């Protein structure tokens, strides 16, 4: 992490972690009190899991880049992290990727059981919606802007985004995908939520349409860069470094950027998307060291 941009990204991720983890802790305590027994404990366990908080950092950086200044952006960043968290819970289930380790800890169905993990996944969907609605109120957004926030997040989390991408990904196991098919899978499965994170920051800051489109374009490119880097890490990292089992793509016979392009060309592809992302910002003269730093971090990250 010698590059100055990576230092700036690390500082932003630390800030995002502090801000969002406090909100997640509040949610975890509320749910553990409201939902009796192991299900309440599992909900709290899921919300307390230590991720990198890349998506919250993107929300916050995009919000500030578009001129936003309120602390209430924390609630929007939390809503995105909750969507990401429940997607990981379901992704790890035995009927999906069947993973036993995530974020350095046993997955929810391992720590509890698959029925509880399934419930945790869908019970967190309305938690994300509540967080978003409360934050929109605190940000004093208009009904139209609040609707736009909800549409951006839940469209990205739905069949036209994450759920649709996951579905295609599962269908594609044991089949060799073309580059075009691979991009379609990952634009939905991973890219849509990352794109939404950048756009949500813009909507919350009442960005003008050109700036909002640039943030979406930036998010689209780093969303793809994120997945290319993820494929490279799965092929080259260790289980200890990643906090999740390495080498799962080969074990599940998945087509990835690495299986289609090889490691070196995949790394170059990630950098190409990083550069396209930064160019989207430059096109509308949007100056944000944080967004540039996060784009760099996404391709250079160690886990």
Whichever of 165 and 205 has its CB closer to ligand GRG, that residue is 165
Is residue 297 part of the contact set for ligand GRG (CB under 6 A)?
A: no
Total residues contacting ligand GRG (rule CB under 6 A)?
Answer: 21
Whichever of 107 and 146 has its CB closer to ligand GRG, that residue is 107
290 neighbors 266 (Cβ within 8 angstroms): no
Q: Which residue is nearest to ligand GRG (CB)?
A: 51
Binding residue (CB under 6 A) for ligand GRG from 20, 59, 65, 90 = 90
Give 83's contacts (C-beta < 8 A, 6+ positions apart).
Answer: 124, 125, 128, 153, 157, 162, 193
Whichever of 30 and 103 has its CB closer to ligand GRG, that residue is 103
Question: CA 142 to CA 297: how far, in whole Å?
Answer: 34
Give 222's contacts (C-beta < 8 A, 6+ positions apart).
Answer: 58, 194, 198, 273, 274, 277, 294, 295, 298
Whichever of 165 and 217 has its CB closer to ligand GRG, that residue is 165
Rg (CA), the chain: 18
The 105-124 contact track toward ligand GRG, x by CB under 6 A, reads ----------------xx--
Dihedral sign for Cα atoms in the order 44, 165, 184, 80: negative
Minimal distance, residue 98 CB to ligand GRG, in Å:
12
Q: DSSP class of residue 187?
A: I
The 134-173 contact track toward ligand GRG, x by CB under 6 A, reads ----------------------------xx--x-------
Question: CA 18 to CA 10: how far, in whole Å?
Answer: 12
Is residue 256 part of the contact set for ligand GRG (CB under 6 A)?
A: no
What are the beta bridge partners of residue 102? 105
Minimal distance, residue 82 CB to ligand GRG, in Å:
11
Is residue 103 part of the contact set for ligand GRG (CB under 6 A)?
A: yes
Give 262's contacts (C-beta < 8 A, 6+ positions apart).
Answer: none
Dihedral sign for Cα atoms in the order 168, 189, 211, 207: positive
Binding residue (CB under 6 A) for ligand GRG from 23, 40, 46, 87 = 87
- Here the tokens at position 274 are 């990083």
The 23-62 contact track toward ligand GRG, x by CB under 6 A, reads ----------------------------xx-x--------
Is residue 200 part of the contact set for ligand GRG (CB under 6 A)?
A: no
Considering all CA atoms of the chain, what is the largest pairwise distance in Å, rounded to the nearest integer? Answer: 53
Whichever of 125 and 263 has its CB closer to ligand GRG, that residue is 125
Binding site for ligand GRG (CB under 6 A): 51-52, 54, 84, 86-88, 90-91, 96, 103, 121-122, 125, 162-163, 166, 189-190, 227, 230
């Amino acid at each position: 992490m010698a590059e100055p941009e990576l230092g700036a990204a690390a500082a932003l991720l630390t800030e995002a972690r502090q801000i969002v983890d406090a909100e997640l802790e509040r949610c975890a305590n509320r749910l553990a009190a409201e939902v009796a027994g192991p299900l309440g404990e599992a909900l709290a366990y899921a919300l307390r899991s230590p991720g990198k908080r890349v998506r919250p950092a993107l929300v916050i950086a995009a919000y500030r880049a578009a001129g936003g200044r309120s602390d209430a952006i924390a609630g929007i960043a939390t809503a995105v992290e909750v969507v990401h968290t429940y997607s990981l819970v379901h992704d790890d289930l035995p009927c999906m990727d069947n993973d036993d380790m995530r974020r350095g800890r046993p997955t929810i169905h391992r720590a509890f059981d698959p029925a509880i993990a399934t419930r945790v996944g869908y019970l967190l969907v309305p938690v994300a919606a509540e967080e978003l609605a409360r934050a929109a109120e605190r940000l004093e957004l208009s009904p139209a802007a609040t609707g736009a926030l909800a549409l951006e997040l839940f469209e990205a989390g739905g069949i036209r985004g994450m759920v649709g991408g996951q579905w295609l990904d599962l269908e594609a196991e044991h089949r060799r995908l073309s580059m075009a098919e691979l991009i379609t899978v990952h634009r939905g499965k991973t890219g849509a939520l990352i794109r939404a994170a950048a756009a949500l920051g813009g909507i919350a800051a009442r960005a003008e349409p050109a700036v909002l489109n640039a943030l979406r374009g930036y998010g689209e490119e780093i969303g793809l860069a994120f997945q290319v880097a993820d494929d490279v890490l799965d092929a080259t990292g260790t289980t200890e470094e990643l906090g999740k089992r390495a080498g799962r793509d080969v074990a599940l016979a998945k087509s990835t950027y690495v299986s289609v392009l090889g490691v070196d060309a995949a790394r170059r592809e990630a950098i190409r998307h990083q550069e396209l992302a930064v160019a989207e910002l430059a096109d509308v003269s949007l100056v944000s060291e944080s967004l540039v730093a996060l784009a760099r971090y996404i391709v250079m990250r160690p886990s």
